[in-house]
Amino acid sequence: MNLTRSAILAATIICIVVGHVNCQAKNETSSAKPESPKEKTNVKQSKLCKKCICDFKNSLLDCSEKLQEWLSTEEWEVLTNGNFVFKTINLEHNNLTSISILPKYDVENLYLANNQIDSIAVGAFQNLTELTVLDLSHNRLTSKVLIPDVFKGPYSVNDFEPLGKLKTLNLGYNDLHSLDADLFEHIRYLEELVLCKNSFHLIDQLSETAISGLLSLKTLDVSYMEIEDLPGTILHGPRDLDTLIAAGNLFKHLPKALERATNLTSLVLNENPIESLVGDNVFPPLTKLNHLSMTFMTKLYKIGPGAFSELQSLTELILSDNKFLNEIDEEALSKNVTGGQYLDYPPLEKVYLNNCNMTTLPKPLLVRWDKLKALDLRFNPWTCDASNDYLINVLIDHVNKTTQVLAKNVQCASPDRLKGVEVLRVANEHLVESSSGSLIWVGLLVVLLIAVPTILGAYVMKRRGCFGVFRRHDSVAVRALYNRTSFNEDFHI
């Protein structure tokens, strides 16, 4: 009897010590009175909701541009003791300079972009155990400040637990030059990492170790980091990496590290000074890649044989705005199978070649041109003579039938008598003799009768990271937030 009594007493004491966390007073005895539950604060009527925007429908607390400094203790109490838990808190554009240890709160998305944060307390996020998305972009973080323990998780008896739910970390637009090799030790389940617009110049060994240790990584944005290459083993760890964005760097050649990225489905290499894709500098086998973007390449003039041959899943090829691109070899896309007797072609649906320096389009580049839902050939100096017969007498009509808007501004630049004339008009009025006769017309007619005209969607690709990494998250709150914020300003197609 004595034993039970003291056991109950001990339980009660523990309850009081631990607080109400997970603690259920034994109900067998009336002597152990349970703590009366604290009155919850009505969040809706709080001052905080007058200062910030409380969007209950989207579970969003939007304090962007509303704060002079961090939320006060009282304001945090409204939240931690409130009758509503916001899943998303936006504290962007507030001139905040530091982050101290934040109170316990079940926020999932925390946006701290566009402040002037240059210091973060050790374990700043340890009480935010539900944290999934953390945006620290557009701040003043340096490599010195960003130490592994900044991301320390909750304390448990044995050790610090990882911040296991953190999936997305945006460190873009800061002053980082390298990463601590153990930077991600507490957040090792990251799936999306954005490092863009930090001038690394070189991804050193420590940074490489940090990144290649992220075994769950799916999206990596290393754009505008002023790097000339990716280290060879950087992608050895993240075996599931499906999206790599490496725009605006100083790559002169395709990074060799791509050879290991065999699970890639989307690759963005815009704005790199690659001159040509010939010889050894062609894509390695990336059998799952379906989206490739290489736009605004300031030096690209030639895409040679076999350049894309090992990308046999490509559905979307974006090569627009390559001012010097003049030549795409007719064997650029095809892949020799069984010793050259048969050729494989990727199942392309969208090809963008607008604003380049293309003069002719070789028909054998692709067998099933008719499968294209979008073919953008506008603003190129097309040659309108027999050398471009296929474009003039077959393709342009297909383009007009599928996406009429893309048939405009496909104009001849030569010969002089046709300069500035729409290629579609040249076709319609037979201004250039067709050399291959009417067979093509019959074939085309069949094709067109079968083909279902498709409307061209907005010329917008999937954009991540510097391109808006958070857009992918389906939560309404996130979308609501990012419709309003300036994250989009960073887009660089």
Ligand X SMILES: *[C@@H]1O[C@H](CO)[C@@H](O)[C@H](O)[C@H]1NC(C)=O
Residue whose CB is less far from ligand X, 104 or 368: 104
In what order do the strands lie in the sheet containing 302-303? 276-277, 302-303, 327-328
331 lies in the binding site for ligand X (CB under 6 A): yes
Per-residue burial over 229-250, b if 16 or more Cβ lie within 10 Å, else e, is bbbeebbbbbeebbbbbbbbbe
Which residue in 118, 49, 50, 99 sits closest to 79, CA to CA?
A: 49
According to CB under 6 A, which residues from 337 to 356 bind ligand X?
340
Stretch that binds ligand X, among 223-231, 245-253, 276-284, 324-332 (CB under 6 A): 324-332
Is the separation of the CB atoms in 151 and 188 below 8 Å? no
Phi, psi (5° rounding) for residue 78? Answer: -55, -40
x/- contact string, 418-437, with ligand X (CB under 6 A)? Answer: ------x---x---------
CA separation for the pair 106, 79 (Å, rounded): 10
Among 51, 103, 252, 491, the residue binding ligand X under the rule CB under 6 A is 103
306 lies in the binding site for ligand X (CB under 6 A): yes
Stretch that binds ligand X, among 87-95, 211-219, 311-319, 437-445 (CB under 6 A): 87-95
Q: Which residue has tokens 């566009």?
A: 114
Nearest distance from C-beta of residue 427 to ligand X, angstroms:
8
Among 162, 285, 305, 468, the residue binding ligand X under the rule CB under 6 A is 305
End-to-end CA distance of the chain: 75
Among 114, 276, 359, 393, the residue binding ligand X under the rule CB under 6 A is 359
CA separation for the pair 32, 12 (Å, rounded): 7
Among 22, 68, 73, 438, the residue binding ligand X under the rule CB under 6 A is 68
127 lies in the binding site for ligand X (CB under 6 A): yes
The residues, ordered by sequence, that sit 6+ positions from 297 with a Cβ below 8 Å of its Cβ are 269, 270, 271, 272, 273, 274, 322, 325
Among 6, 31, 45, 95, the residue binding ligand X under the rule CB under 6 A is 95
Residue whose CB is less far from ligand X, 110 or 466: 110
248 lies in the binding site for ligand X (CB under 6 A): no
Long-range interactions of 204-211: CB distance < 8 A, separation 24+: 204/178, 205/181, 205/231, 206/178, 206/179, 206/180, 206/181, 207/178, 207/179, 207/181, 208/233, 208/234, 209/181, 210/179, 210/180, 210/181, 210/182, 210/183, 210/184, 211/179, 211/237, 211/238
Residue whose CB is less far from ligand X, 70 or 324: 324
CA separation for the pair 405, 428 (Å, rounded): 17
Phi, psi (5° rounding) for residue 210? Answer: -60, -50
Nearest distance from C-beta of residue 476 to ligand X, angstroms:
26
Q: Which residue has tokens 């003069």?
A: 359
According to CB under 6 A, which residues from 30 to 59 bind ligand X?
none
Q: Which residue has tokens 């090809």?
A: 351
71 lies in the binding site for ligand X (CB under 6 A): no
Stretch that binds ligand X, among 210-218, 247-255, 305-313, 441-449 (CB under 6 A): 305-313
Among 12, 139, 198, 309, the residue binding ligand X under the rule CB under 6 A is 309
Which residue's CB atom is positioned nearest to ligand X?
A: 340
Among 140, 302, 323, 462, the residue binding ligand X under the rule CB under 6 A is 323
Binding site for ligand X (CB under 6 A): 27, 65, 68, 93-95, 101, 103-104, 126-127, 155, 239-240, 262-263, 305-306, 309, 323-324, 326, 331, 334, 336, 340, 357, 359, 400-401, 404, 424, 428
